[in-house]
Structure 1
Amino acid sequence: MNFDEILCLIGGFGKFQKTLYIWICLPQIFLAFHMLVSVFTGAVPPHLCHSSVGPQAFLNFTFSSPSSLYGQSELSCTVPLNLSGDAGLGDGHPSEKCQGGWDYSTETFQSTIVTEWDLVCEDASLNNIGSSVYMFGLLVGAVVFGSLADKYGRRIVILFNLAIQAVFGVGAAFAPNFYVYIALRFMVGTSISGVIMNAFVLGTEWTGSKQRMLAGIITDYFFGVGYILLAGLAYLIRDWRKLQLAISAPGFLFIFYIWVLPKSARWLMANDRKEEAWELIRKAAQINGKPLTKDLEMCQVYRVEKKNEVKKKHSFIDLVRTPKMRKHSLIVFYLWFANVLVYYGLSLNISDFGMNIYLTQLIFGLVEMPARTITLFTLNRSRKFSQLAFLAVGGTACLLTIFVPSDLSIIKTVLAMIGKFGITASLSIIYVYSAEVFPTVIRQNGIGIGSMCARTGGVLAPMMYLLRRLNPHAPMVLCGLCPLLGSALTLLLPETANKPLPDTIEDVEGSPLSEEHGGVSESSPGRTDDVGSSRTD
């Protein structure tokens, strides 16, 4: 009897698991806050160069409009040498670089990090770099806290990262300069990965195989709730420091997780801590109203030695050693990268669509709900064509935005919303699809590297908007072409819906493989009927 069979006896998604998912889902709201708050704290309000001649000198000029060049026009960074007339810079009049600082419009924001530290003109790229540093923190956190969780357990890593998130998040609200601010945000980013990954794994390891897909989607819904709530919170709090404090300080309330968050019994068993595991299993069974029998408690329930033996014979090199496995792996890694690149490329730059930033944030948050819901109905029919179709929808909609004039902001926002819908649905699917493409013996290696590719996309997402200097439409062209390429590549992947999971590389290749070609000659552990049911960590 393995752990999944025990879950069937004590209840795969009873009261114990439902309570656990409440504790897992609550932090997701705050994770969304931290992931997307830079939309508001790093916003670039309309601004005008403050002439050293005096404020009266530039009264004849107007603030630059965000729709002119995403918040920055020539007038924002220079001042005309001849200020006596009404002629503007566009008439060929000589000008010089702004020396006296900038005046910012306070119509939408009281303050942002841009207005406080003048991250415009020559220093405008620092704002994008700051967002990329935060995303790099996610990558570092995924690597560091993933391995630490395998060594020390999920619960302790989740608690530690919730503490980091609260302390450094509050610290960022009091940052004395931009460089301290991005360093503190980097630490928050590492903690986000630590919580997201291990909370998902903790929930998965306690949930029966039949309910795992639904349970995973539930956590995504709470991220969407945070997405929507952030729009209202930012609308009420227009000062960036107060907003940063408002999303971070409540994190200290999670201290009560010390007493309510359980350990993973599956992880405890895999690490030969069976007495602790059985104590938790008895507790879960009691809460679910299915107490264990004495006969069951006397069973040897976990075949750790056999599974560990299989793990030692395979590494990440096996992902690219053989032809079909190499093709599948590279395509899946690209899909992870493209999905996250476009998802955050759209989410972090909503001011570019010309509509009210708070309304656009709300709309983009609301789109998350149907996008994640629809995957529940399409996934069981076809993983392959669900992935292909949603990528095609997202990419096509993003490409169409470049043909919409800037004054038709509503149409542009609707197309961006459709693009966000497609990418959000596609991102939900890739979690399930990739876990089914990789065989059991290297599944965790595949998921781990896929996650790293996703974080790389997150790092590059803020940076791709520096391409606006080459062409204002370049970022949206990239947001369109990357998913379309992914859609085409998905045609080369196998269909995995309602099919047994591959256990060995031999299953993927479809023919016997010799050891020298990276294959295995012996059978691997029994097949499973659901993603992750063979996890031992």
Structure 2
Amino acid sequence: MAFQDLLIHVGNLGRFQILQMAFLLICIGMVLPHSLLENFTAAIPGHRCWVPILDNDTVSVNDSGILSQDDLLRISIPLDSNLRPEKCRRFVQPQWHLLYLNGSFSSVAEPDTEPCVDGWVYDRSTFLSTTVTQWDLVCGSQALNSVAKFIFMMGLLTGHIIGGRLSDRWLSESARWLIVTNKPQKGLKELRKVAHINGMKSSEDVLTIEVVRITMKEELEAAQTKHSLLNLFRTPNLRKRVCLLCFVRFVSLIPVLGLLIHFQYLSSNVFLLQCLYGVVSIPANVLGKFSMNYMGRRITQMIFMSLMGISILTIIFLPQEMQTLRTILATFGGAISSASLTSTLVHANELVPTVIRATALGVVGIAGSAGAALSPLFMILTMYSANLPWIIYGVLSIFGGLVALLLPETKNQPLPDSIQDVENDSRRKSSREAKKDTVTKVTPF
């Protein structure tokens, strides 16, 4: 509360804050696309087994040109349940008789097949090269594609831990940090700089060292106590908040990343879907902001995460032929996932006290990064069922939205400055609820 009183004199939302937001957007804009690039760098193009009579230039059984490429493919590669060429097996010997059966297999014994022992031929009409084509991460090695994405996301998790620690050097010059670390003169200088940028000329007479010391008295006293990671879990209410925030962030990042880096499974045109997601995510985030201010943080998270889960679950029951509807639902789910993640971030910032906020958000962020890292591994389950990973993503999204309702609402509430503020706030709420129960019991109508 105290530092917020000082912000009134320097301008709550002025040129300084806008410049800060623009700088942060540029930084985020350079980082986030790396995750979405997995839709292209790790795309799985169409593929089939390499066969000599089709793909070996030195071996040719069709010099006369009587047989077409489709005929040669027909006698070399078996068909799957959808009557399309198998991706992972080939005939041991060319099955010439298949050219004359018109698709009927009833009177012919099942021919012997084998895995793609000589490698694969990839459809390069869309992607000339990906990690999949470079390392043959298909068929029996398809799980390694998910492992590669997991390793990439683990790099982000490691960077989150290391970078979060290093960022204290660069963020340490904030006015609040300077004041609570017994550098009030430097903190006052920063406040006056912000006031000057925001055009608050009259603030120079108001912002004095005495005003800073008096206004920040409680925070200065609280800052004398050094807080460690263990302080997050020593008091019951803060411990509950941090554990719930970690769980919600962990559960929500699994379906969000699962959706955003696996667009290829949802639409035949990943380029179109990626562009649509980029366009729609902006108004979706604006809608999320208004929703948080109107309905509150908890309800917004619950609604948005549930809608994302429902859209994912709906897509898996749509046939591949309904590409337009699948694209619309995937775009909607992606945009909603971005808005739900934003509301989760805002809620977490408002629930933890100032004196230990950086540590708390670091712990919550690590939990989220762990969920993001594990997200690609669920795609390994496609070896057993193509829909199983998506069912898990959809259910986890809905479940995460419901768990968010267990957290306190922070709409129009002051930010807690100390751990004691969190504990006192919970006691006040318990007291109000007890009074309401008493009134209910006493009042006859």
- Band the TM-score falls in, shorter-chain normalisation: 0.7 to 0.9
Question: Aligned to 2:86, what secondary structure does the other structure show?
Answer: helix
Of 194, 214, 237 in structure 2, the residue corresponding to residue 284 of structure 1 is 194
How many residue pairs get aligned? The number is: 398
Question: Measured at CA, do residues 475 and 489 of structure 1 come closer, stay the same or move farther in structure 2, by a change above 3 Å?
Answer: same
Q: Which residue of 1 aligns with 2:439?
A: none
Amino acid across the alignment from 2:96 = G
Question: Measured at CA, do residues 405 and 20 of structure 1 come closer, stay the same or move farther in structure 2, by a change above 3 Å?
Answer: same
Of 259, 267, 271 in structure 1, the residue corresponding to residue 177 of structure 2 is 267
Provide the identity percentage.
28
**Alignment of 1:308 onto 2:223:** yes
Q: What's the offset of the Cα at 1:495?
A: 2.8
**Alignment of 1:153 onto 2:70:** no
Amino acid across the alignment from 2:338 = T
Q: Which residue of 2 aligns with 1:158?
A: none
Amino acid across the alignment from 2:9 = L
Question: Measured at CA, do residues 128 and 320 of structure 1 come closer, stay the same or move farther in structure 2, by a change above 3 Å?
Answer: farther
Please give the alpha-carbon distance, in whole angstroms, between the structure 2 residues aligned to 1:458 and 1:22: 26
Q: What's the offset of the Cα at 1:361?
A: 0.8
Question: Aligned to 1:485, what secondary structure does the other structure show?
Answer: helix
Q: CA offsets, 1:477-527, max 9 Å, x none?
A: 0111002212332333333322344552432542799xxxxxxxxxxxxxx
**Alignment of 1:462 onto 2:376:** yes
After TM superposition, the structure 1 = structure 2 runs for residues 216-227 of structure 1, keeping only pairs within 5 Å, are none
Q: Which residue of 2 aligns with 1:489?
A: 403
Amino acid across the alignment from 1:375 = G
After TM superposition, the structure 1 = structure 2 runs for residues 71-470 of structure 1, keeping only pairs within 5 Å, are 75-85=86-96, 87=98, 92-150=110-168, 152-154=169-171, 264-273=174-183, 276-291=186-201, 293=204, 296-299=207-210, 301=212, 303=216, 305-312=220-227, 315-316=229-230, 318-319=232-233, 322=236, 325-380=238-293, 381-439=295-353, 443-470=357-384
Please give the alpha-carbon distance, in whole angstroms, between the structure 2 residues aligned to 1:334 and 1:74: 44
Please give the alpha-carbon distance, in whole angstroms, between the structure 1 residues aligned to 2:311 and 2:51: 42
**Does the 8 Å CA contact 1:325/1:509 hold for their aligned counterparts?**
no
**Alignment of 1:477 onto 2:430:** no
TM-score, normalised relative to structure 1: 0.66
**Does the 8 Å CA contact 2:90/2:115 hold for their aligned counterparts?**
yes
Query: Structure 2: which 5+ runs fail to align?
Result: 62-68, 431-445
Q: CA offsets, 1:334-379, max 9 Å, x none?
A: 2111221111111100011133110011122223112211122221
**Does the 8 Å CA contact 2:188/2:212 hold for their aligned counterparts?**
no
**Does the 8 Å CA contact 2:54/2:73 hold for their aligned counterparts?**
no
TM-score, normalised relative to structure 2: 0.78
**Does the 8 Å CA contact 1:388/1:488 hold for their aligned counterparts?**
yes
Please give the alpha-carbon distance, in whole angstroms, between the structure 1 residues aligned to 2:97 and 2:412: 71
Q: CA offsets, 1:414-465, max 9 Å, x none?
A: 2223332332222111112223334556544432222111101110121111
Query: Structure 1: which 5+ runs fail to align?
Result: 156-262, 514-537
Amino acid across the alignment from 1:61 = L
**Does the 8 Å CA contact 1:316/1:445 hold for their aligned counterparts?**
no
Question: Measured at CA, do residues 84 and 492 of structure 1 come closer, stay the same or move farther in structure 2, by a change above 3 Å?
Answer: same
Please give the alpha-carbon distance, in whole angstroms, between the structure 1 residues aligned to 2:193 and 2:242: 40
**Does the 8 Å CA contact 1:80/1:95 hold for their aligned counterparts?**
yes
Please give the alpha-carbon distance, in whole angstroms, between the structure 1 residues aligned to 2:81 and 2:303: 34
Q: Which runs of 4 or more aligned residues in structure 1 lie more than 6 Å from their structure 2 counterparts after TM superposition?
A: 88-91
Question: Measured at CA, do residues 486 and 301 of structure 1 come closer, stay the same or move farther in structure 2, by a change above 3 Å?
Answer: same
Q: CA offsets, 1:260-313, max 9 Å, x none?
A: xxx53443444455555455444433333334536634436254642323453x
Please give the alpha-carbon distance, in whole angstroms, between the structure 1 residues aligned to 2:32 and 2:97: 47
Q: Report the structure number with the largest CA radius of gyration.
A: 2
Q: CA offsets, 1:148-171, max 9 Å, x none?
A: 222x2338xxxxxxxxxxxxxxxx
Please give the alpha-carbon distance, in whole angstroms, between the structure 2 residues aligned to 1:53 and 1:130: 34
Please give the alpha-carbon distance, in whole angstroms, between the structure 1 residues aligned to 2:415 and 2:192: 31
Provide the alpha-carbon RMSD of the alignment: 3.4
Please give the alpha-carbon distance, in whole angstroms, between the structure 2 residues aligned to 1:16 and 1:307: 28
Please give the alpha-carbon distance, in whole angstroms, between the structure 1 residues aligned to 2:104 and 2:401: 43
Please give the alpha-carbon distance, in whole angstroms, between the structure 2 residues aligned to 1:87 and 1:449: 62
Question: Measured at CA, do residues 266 and 86 of structure 1 come closer, stay the same or move farther in structure 2, by a change above 3 Å?
Answer: farther
Question: Measured at CA, do residues 512 and 479 of structure 1 come closer, stay the same or move farther in structure 2, by a change above 3 Å?
Answer: closer
Please give the alpha-carbon distance, in whole angstroms, between the structure 1 residues aligned to 2:89 and 2:234: 53
Q: Which residue of 2 aligns with 1:41?
A: 41
Please give the alpha-carbon distance, in whole angstroms, between the structure 2 residues aligned to 1:82 and 1:143: 55
